[in-house]
Amino acid sequence: MNDLLAWLASLPEPLLYGALVAAAFAENVFPPLPADTVIALGAFVAARGNGTALGVWGATMLGNVGGAMLMYGLGHRYGLPWLLRRFPRIVSTAGADRFAERFKAQGLAAVVVSRFLPGVRA
Taking only the tens of pLDDT, the chain with its 122 residues reads 678 777 777 888 888 899 889 988 998 888 777 767 778 888 888 887 788 889 988 998 899 899 989 988 998 999 888 888 888 888 888 888 887 888 888 878 877 776 666 555 44
Contact 20, 63 (CB under 8 A): yes
Query: What is the longest distance spanned by two Cα atoms in the chain?
Result: 51
Contact 9, 48 (CB under 8 A): yes
CB-hemisphere CA count at 13 Å for 49? 1
The model scores a pTM over 0.75: no
The domain locations on the chain are 2-67
Contact 28, 67 (CB under 8 A): yes
